[in-house]
Amino acid sequence: MRRGALGALPTNLEYYDFLDEFTKAVKQNYGENSCIDFANHNAFELLAKYGTTHLVFNDDIQGTTVVLLVGLVASLKLLGGSLADHTFLFFGAREERLELSLEYQKNVVVEEARKNIWPVDSKGLIVNARKESLQAHKKPWAHEHEPVNNLLDTVKAINPAAIIGTSGVGRTFTKKVIEAMASINKRPLIMAFSNPTAQSECTTEEAYTWSERVELSSQVEVPFPSVEYNNKLHNPSQVC
């Protein structure tokens, strides 16, 4: 339920002055029992500002982070080693999705962790050659690598252990992309994170049949039915 006066929303300094007054009032009246969920374009700054003094939470950023980490850590039983031993390709370099990978850097030097995280946006691999035109939140993730314009060529170039779909663009993990992952990895990790189903990067059935891997670890955020492959029933791992 939303309550308040109708009219134009405050912006810039007026907005932040209002938020200061609002968060103090919420804490004073309701104590440490409140979660505040703001739009993503404001959320990062507000989380940083109030995170040490208020119980603030943004599901798109922090909730998805937890879900992804659960999937990655669980997958180590198949992949072996630690997260720092593997290369991860993020398909969809939106600001809130790049935040996911920051959580994986706990107890790891940030610069070292970023070597293993390769984001791809709508224009291709995020590399230093594109740095002048990149949005500010993407620049720290730029790699010293020749430009690569599409997902398939990126997979072949960096040999990731996992591809993590956060693009919101359906069926972008094509047959050729999944076949390439299967040729690189004995157990390719395919994480189609976008929802709803129509926007998922691939289906569970596509992941299993195109990879021709019985031991494939397929993790999704949207529900897909079980898949029968090679006379065996496979249940996709739905991490939330």
Show binding-site residues: 37, 60, 195
Amino acid at 214: V
Pairing of strands 227-229, 232-234: antiparallel
Q: Give the DSSP per-residue string, 69-115.
A: HHHHHHHHHHH-S-GGGS-EEEE---HHHHHHHHHTTTTS-HHHHHT
Q: Check residue 157 and report its DSSP letter.
A: H
CB atoms within 10 A of CB 116: 20
Task: Name the binding residues for a divalent metal cation.
Answer: 37, 60
Task: Name the binding residues for (S)-malate.
Answer: 195
CA distance 176 to 217: 18
